[in-house]
Amino acid sequence: MTEKVKHVLGLSGGKDSSALALFVKETYPELDVEYFFTDTGYELPETNEFIDQLEEKLGYIHRLNARSLNNIEGRGEKDFAHLLKEHGNYLPSQRDRWCTVQMKLKPFEQWLDSFIKDGYKIKNYVGIRADEPERVGYMTIEKPIESVFPFREHGIVRSDIENILQRNGLELPEYYKWRSRSGCTFCFYQRKIEWVKLMEKHPDLFEEAKAFEKGDDNNTTVGERFYWMGQGQPLETLEDPAVQKRIIENHEKKVARFNKKKRRNALLGDFEGYCEFNELDDIYDEAEGGGACVTCYK
Ligand code: SF4
């Protein structure tokens, strides 16, 4: 009997997973790939617009809705405010990334369960490039899910990614003009300059993130406050024009230093012409967002 295989490819709204989907479609046209986007309900409007554009190129994209899939009978919508309460008003952080488990991985697993019940093995295509350090992508030992890395197999590196998007008639997502990656509006992997930009571009979403820092004010047992930027750094500190000015000036200095280095290296042909927020990891000297996860950003 032939093995039943379901090919799935997750889109984060980032450039690598988008390029991967286009690359797999043109390289393996015989594969019937199911594309999915796990919409946490806290995505940037720019990300949603880009997913719509991708759908025109790829065909149907399943929207796995974290809110409805996490819904537990009789408890109503389980959005971030509910999840936060369940986690004792402890905001997710790099050390305790419960948000990814609840808002990305659980909906993904629940979606796959229906295929697995039907006897399918799952091949999950992951956009880790050939020039990235060894990373494993989504892994599970309990389910028949195999991760596949076409970029690594084909030696696709960062400078190939934009070419793939361009030859398919796609520009980079709009958020790259002011933020380095997709993911939730309130993601703690943001750098201070990105929070300042969020406040400028989407003041309502900045306010929403600020409100989550307050947790449950009616709960008198909560003695400690948690903040997206780390302890002692509430988002409201960014509303001070003097603080904003300092952050912007520091950022501009880093960009100027980086551009100088880039110009020097460009003579040697080492760099591609990326725009500033597309190069933020390099500017801040961090590999792939300082460990930001494959599930949310690729
Ligand atoms: S994008 Fe950030 S906040 Fe959202 S689930 Fe991923 S790690 Fe958590």
For residue 263, count other CB atoms closer than 10 A to its CB.
Answer: 10
Q: Which of 97, 108, 226, 297 to mutate to test the pocket of ligand 1 (most atoms within 8 A of CB)?
A: 97
Q: What is the mean predicted confidence (pLDDT) over 144-155?
A: 94
Of residues 26, 33, 63, the one with CA closest to residue 125: 33
Q: Whose CA is nearest to atom 7 of ligand 1?
A: 100
Q: Closest by alpha carbon to 224, among 235, 237, 215, 212?
A: 215
99 in contact with ligand 1, CB cutoff 6 A: yes
Decide if pLDDT at 27 tops 90: yes
Nearest-atom number in ligand 1 for the CA of 189 is 2
Q: Inform me whether the pLDDT recorded for 69 exceeds 60.
A: no
Tracing tokens 């990891």 back to the chain, one arrives at 281
Q: How many A from CA of 159 to the centre of ligand 1?
A: 26
Ligand 1 site-directed mutation target among 103, 108, 213, most atoms within 8 Å of CB: 103
pLDDT tens, 35-65?
Answer: 999 999 899 999 999 999 999 999 999 999 7
Cα–Cα distance measured from residue 4 to residue 54, given in angstroms and rounded to the nearest whole number? 27
Q: What is the pLDDT of residue 140?
A: 56
Q: What is the reported pLDDT for 73?
A: 43
**Ligand 1 pocket member 172 (CB < 6 A):** no
Greater pLDDT, 70 or 172: 172
As beta bridge partners, residue 7 has: 33, 123
Q: Give the bridge partners for 10, in sequence order.
A: 36
Predicted local distance difference test score (pLDDT) of residue 217 = 57
For residue 121, which of 140, 146, 139 has the smallest C-alpha distance? 146
Assess contact for 50 and 93: CB atoms under 8 A: no
Task: Judge if the beta carbon of residue 14 lies within 6 A of ligand 1.
Answer: no
In this model, does residue 276 exceed pLDDT 80? no
CATH number for domain 5-174, candidates 2.10.50.10, 3.40.640.10, 3.40.50.620, 3.40.190.100: 3.40.50.620
> Which band of pLDDT confidence, cut at 50, 70 and 90, is reported for residue 143?
confident
Distance from Cα 5 to the centre of ligand 1, integer Å: 29
Is the pLDDT at 119 greater than 90, yes or no?
Answer: yes
In angstroms, the CA 227 to CA 96 distance is: 13
Residues 6 or more apart in contact with residue 22 via CB below 8 angstroms: 57, 58, 164, 165, 168, 170
- In DSSP terms, which residues pair with 39 in a beta bridge? 65
List the domain boundaries for the chain.
Answer: 5-174
Q: What is the pLDDT of residue 289?
A: 52
- Residues in a beta bridge with 121: 5
Residue pair 263/68 in contact (Cβ under 8 Å)? The answer is no
The atom number, within ligand 1, closest to the CA of 295 reads 6
pLDDT exceeds cutoff 50 at 174: yes
Query: Rounded to an integer, what distance in angstroms lies between the CA atom of residue 24 and that of residue 17?
Result: 10
Q: Which of the listed residues 99, 138, 194 should we mutate to test ligand 1's pocket, taking the one with most ligand atoms within 8 A of CB?
A: 99
Q: Which residue has the higher pLDDT, 277 or 153?
A: 153
